[in-house]
Amino acid sequence: MITVYLDLDGVLFNFNKMCAKFADIEYPSNHAFTQEGFWIHQFMSEDDFHKMVMSKEEFWADLEPFPWADKMIDIADEVTEGNWYFLTTQSPVPECFSGKAKSIHKHFADRDGLRKLIICKHKELLCHGGHDFLIDDLDKNINNWKKAGGSYFQWQEVTDDFDPKKISDRLASLKVYLTSIKNIYV
Ligand SMILES: [Mg+2]
């Protein structure tokens, strides 16, 4: 049996759009974000970003799911027969924990979201082999997961108006790959 771990920020939740709102900068259109550090750090120092953005409960609580979030969860749910979790890293402030819990409760209460929410900075601690499958945007998380022997699908963060056909192709690839991993670990 496989277990799927779904990242929140940049995969299911629109992290950069909320950053843009809090930092009062323009959110790009039809854009794929690169991995050269956080996008927002081009506009704001790390210290300011932490103070003005990431330490605010409403930043986390008001995050909106991407248009494809439900579809991605449906794929994980169907392939694993319900054996999936949200796996997200925290900022070291209590407001981040409560804000993340609120956004999950707001959008995914019908999926028993709060009991599927795992908050852990070192995601690889949850990885015990190829039957553990991570969907995440960040190189660092993917690399650590890979080192721990896990399976993964790197989901590059894109804007919410990104080409729906490309998103649909990505989701189809995810489903095919996930199913092939599941068939190894029956
Ligand atoms: Mg992420």
pLDDT in tens, 31-85: 999 866 678 888 888 888 888 888 899 999 999 999 999 999 999 999 999 999 9
What tokens appear for 176 in the block? 């095919």
Residue type, 20: A
Concatenating the DSSP letter of every residue in 131-166 gives TEEEEES-HHHHHHHHHTT-EEEE---B-TTS-HHH
Cα separation values, 122 from 41, 136, 152, Å: 22, 13, 15
| Alpha-carbon Rg for the chain in angstroms | 16
- In the chain, where the domains are located: 3-184
Range 91-108 average pLDDT: 96
The CA 155 to ligand 1 mean position distance, Å, reads 9
Residue type, 86: F
> Which CATH number is associated with domain 3-184?
3.40.50.1000
Tell me the angle at which helices 164-184 and 69-80 cross, rounded to the nearest 10 degrees: 20
- 91-109 per-residue burial string, b: 16 or more CB within 10 A, e: under 16: beeebbbebbbbbbeebbe
Q: What is the pLDDT of residue 84?
A: 98
The CA 77 to ligand 1 mean position distance, Å, reads 20
> Per residue in 139-179, pLDDT tens?
999 999 999 999 999 999 999 999 999 999 999 999 999 99
The CA 81 to ligand 1 mean position distance, Å, reads 24
The CA 185 to ligand 1 mean position distance, Å, reads 26
The CA 137 to ligand 1 mean position distance, Å, reads 5
Cα separation values, 149 from 7, 38, 142, Å: 18, 26, 11
The CA 173 to ligand 1 mean position distance, Å, reads 19
The CA 118 to ligand 1 mean position distance, Å, reads 14
Among 16-25, 87-96, 100-109, 169-178, the range scoring the smallest mean pLDDT is 16-25
